[in-house]
Amino acid sequence: MGKAILFLLLAFALGAYGLNPTAALAQPPDGSSGEEDLGPSLAAGHVARYRLTYMSSQTVTSIRSLTVISITNHKTSGSCSTSVDWRFGFAGVACTTVLTLGPGQTGEHCSRSLPASPIAAGCNATCAPGLTSIEGSAVIGSTNSTSCALIAVDGRIFYTTGSDSGVAAISNPRIVRIGAANAGD
């Protein structure tokens, strides 16, 4: 317990001086930037539109997590196929989910399923097998057409307790357009 508090105090102190004690952990083992491994492998005929900057899907810790990405098709006619590459670290794609949405429809892509939960009822496309020990990002894509570029995207991470029996917290990670910086920064 004392070591954990000491570590948190050290991390806080370093952060106060603009130093990030975990920055070195973000580097690939070979010392490269890692960018060459980050290209999406979305469903055939899809193009990358957005990136969810952080995702978590855990079942091996006491605080479990699940990431849900909602996509809305803003078209007034015609369907759009959507896909999500669930990416981890510098190792690539763990899973790709695909969902076709009719005009005005919203559907959810999920990193894993939850047993008998209101959250799970909203999952329309889920990784199989579910992702149970991963942190990373997600690349969101849609059919390669001008009209399917009009999708709207939202992401949430649900942190659950026990055997996913209760929601302890919800966070909304950033979503940025591919090739753009964070808005408002």
Query: How many Å separate Cα 47 from the centre of its chain?
Result: 17
pLDDT in tens, 123-143: 999 999 999 999 999 999 999
Query: In the numeric block, which tokens belong to residue 82?
Result: 């959507």
Q: Tell me what pLDDT residue 161 has.
A: 86
Question: Closest by alpha carbon to 83, among 95, 71, 99, 67?
Answer: 99
Distance of alpha carbon 103 from alpha carbon 106, whole angstroms: 9
Cβ neighbours, 10 Å, residue 161? 13
Give pLDDT < 50 ranges for the chain: 1-38
C-alpha distances in Å from residue 70, one per residue of 12, 27, 84, 183: 34, 30, 10, 19
Say which amino acid occupies 92: G
Evaluate whether 130 touches 112 at the Cβ level (below 8 Å).
Answer: yes
DSSP assignments along 23-76, one per residue: GGGGS-TTSS-SGGG----PSTTEEEEEEEEEEEEESSSSSEEEEEEEEE---S
Q: Tell me what pLDDT residue 29 has.
A: 39
pLDDT in tens, 145-155: 988 998 999 99
Query: How many Å separate Cα 112 from the centre of its chain?
Result: 11
Domain 37-177 in this protein, CATH class: mainly beta
